[in-house]
Structure 1
Amino acid sequence: MLGPIAVCVGAFPTTTETFVVRELMALRQRGWDVRLVIQHSNSPNQSGLFHESIDGVTFPTIALPVRQSPMAPLRFVTNRRLRLAANVGRYGRRLAIRRTGYFGSLLSEPLIAECRLIHCHFVQWGLEVGEGLSGLLNVPLTVIAHDGHLKQYSVDELRSLQATTSRIFCVSNAWKEYWQQATEQSDGLCLLRNGVDIPTDLARPFSRSQSPIRLLTVGSLSELKQTALVVDAMSELVSRGHSVQLEVIGDGPCRDALQQQVRRLALEDCVRLRGALSHTLVLERMLASDIFVHASERESFGLVVAEAMAAGLPVVCSDTDGPREIVAPGITGWLFPIGEATTLAARILQLIEFPQQAAEMGRQGRERVRAQFNWDSRIDNLHNQLYELTHPASLKT
Structure 2
Amino acid sequence: MKIAVLVNSFPKISETFILDQIIEMIERGHHVEIFARNKTDEEVVHEEIQEYNLLSNTHYPNIPQNKIRRILSAGKTFAVNFPYRPRRVIESLRIGKYGRDALSLRMLHYSQSFKENDFDVLYCHFGPNGNLGSLLKQTGTNARVITVFHGYGIRLGIENGPGMYDEAFKHSDLLLANSKSTIDKLIKMGADPDSIIFHSIGVNINEFYPRKDGVNGNDTDKVIVTTVARLAEIKGHEYAIQAISEIIDRNIDPEIEYRIVGGGPKRSELEQLVCELNIENSVLFTGQVDRSTVQSHLKETDLFLLSSLDEGLGIVLLEAQASGIPVIATNVGGIPDAVNQNESAILVPPKKPMLLADELEFLCNNPDQWIDMGNKGREYIKNNFNSNDLNDKLERVLKGNTRQ
TM-score (norm 1): 0.88
Q: CA separation of 1:66/1:140 partners in 2, compared to 1, >3 Å: closer, same or farther?
A: farther
The answer for the alignment partner of 2:188 in structure 1 is 181
Would you say 1:113 and 2:117 are equivalent positions? yes
Closer/same/farther in 2, CA of residues 10 and 113 from structure 1, 3 Å limit: same
Q: 1:74 aligns with which of 79, 82, 88?
A: 79
Which position in structure 2 is the counterpart of 1:49? none
Equivalent residue, structure 2, for 1:294: 306
Letter in 2 for 1:32: H
Shift of 1:101: 4.7
1:266 aligns with 2:266: no
Point out the more displaced range, 56-65 or 378-387.
56-65
Cα separation, partners in 2 of 1:253 and 1:204, compared to 1, 3 Å: farther
Question: In the TM superposition, what are the counterparts of 1:65-214 in structure 2 within 5 Å?
Answer: 70-71=73-74, 72-77=77-82, 79-90=86-97, 91=99, 95=103, 99-107=107-115, 112-127=116-131, 129-136=132-139, 137-153=141-157, 154-183=161-190, 185-198=192-205, 199=207, 201-203=209-211, 205-206=213-214, 211-214=221-224
SS of 1:348's equivalent in the other structure is helix
In 2, the alpha carbon distance for the partners of 1:334 and 1:86 equals: 49
Corresponding position of 1:350: 362
Q: Summarize the Cα distance change of 1:81–1:239 in structure 2 as closer, same or farther, 3 Å threshold.
A: closer
Distance in 1, Cα, partners of 2:337 & 2:33: 33
Q: Post-superposition shift, 1:75?
A: 4.9
Matched-pair contact (CA < 8 Å) for 1:204–1:288: no
Q: Is the 8 A contact 1:313 1:362 kept in 2?
A: yes
Deviation at 1:88, TM superposition (A): 3.1
Structure 2 unaligned regions, length at least 5: 43-47
Is structure 2 residue 336 aligned with structure 1 residue 324?
yes
Asked if 2 retains the 8 angstrom alpha-carbon contact of 1:207 and 1:356, the reply is: no
Shift of 1:351: 0.9
- Quote the Cα distance in structure 2 between the aligned partners of 1:363 and 1:94: 50
**Cα deviation, residue 175, structure 1:** 0.7
Give 1:65 deviation, angstroms: 5.4
**Superposition TM-score, scaled by structure 2 size:** 0.86
Question: Aligned partners of 2:9, 2:101: CA distance in 1, in Å?
Answer: 25
Q: After the TM superposition, which residues 351-370 of structure 1 pair with which residues of structure 2 at under 5 Å, given as runs?
A: 351-370=363-382
CA contact (8 A) 1:295 1:317 kept: yes
Task: State the distance in 2 between where 1:318 and 1:15 align.
Answer: 24
SS in 2 for 1:292: strand
Structure 1 unmatched ranges of 5 or more:
45-51
Match of 2:243 in 1: 233
Aligned residue among 45, 51, 64 for 1:55: 51
Q: The residue matched to 1:10 in structure 2 has which SS?
A: strand
- Distance of aligned partners of 1:83 and 1:231 in 2 relative to their CA distance in 1, 3 Å threshold: same
Q: Which moved more, 1:179-188 or 1:98-107?
A: 98-107
Deviations 1:206-242, CA, capped at 9 Å, x for gaps: 4799731110001111111111111111111111112
Give SS of 2:305's match. Answer: strand
SS in 2 for 1:176: helix
| Contact 1:39/1:66 (<8 A) preserved | no
Is the CA contact 2:124–2:130 (under 8 Å) kept in the aligned structure 1? yes
Distance 1:369 1:376 in 2: 12
State the AA in 2 paired with 1:166: D
State the Cα deviation string for residues 320-355 of structure 1 (Å, max 9, x = none): 121111222321120011000000000111111111
Moved more, 256-265 or 206-215: 206-215
Question: What letter corresponds to residue 76 of structure 1 in structure 2?
Answer: N
Aligned to 2:233: 223
Distance 1:102 1:184 in 2: 24
Secondary structure of 1:273's aligned partner: strand
Partner residue in 1 for 2:45: none
Output one character per residue of 1:136-192: Cα deviation in whole Å (capped at 9) or x when no partner.
213211111013351441332333311100111100011112212331621320000
Q: 2:61 aligned with 1:64, yes or no?
A: yes
Q: CA deviation at 1:5?
A: 1.8
What amino acid is aligned across from residue 341 of structure 2 in structure 1? P
Shift of 1:33: 0.7
Q: Secondary structure of the equivalent of 1:190? A: strand
Question: SS of 2:189's equivalent?
Answer: helix
Q: Is the 8 A contact 1:86 1:96 kept in 2?
A: no
Distance 1:225 1:115, change over 3 A: same
Residues 42/178 of structure 1: CA separation in 2 closer, same or farther (3 Å cut): closer
Q: Percent identity?
A: 23
Three-state SS of the structure 1 residue aligned to 2:114 is helix
Write the deviation string for residues 276-321 of structure 1: whole angstroms up to 9, x where unpaired: 1111110111011100000010000100001000000000000012
In structure 2, how many angstroms separate the alpha carbons of the residues matched to 1:80 and 1:19?
A: 34
Cα RMSD (Å) of the superposition?
Answer: 2.6
Amino acid at match of 1:141: V
Aligned residues: 377
- Return closer, same or farther for 1:117/1:96 CA change in 2, 3 Å cut-off: farther
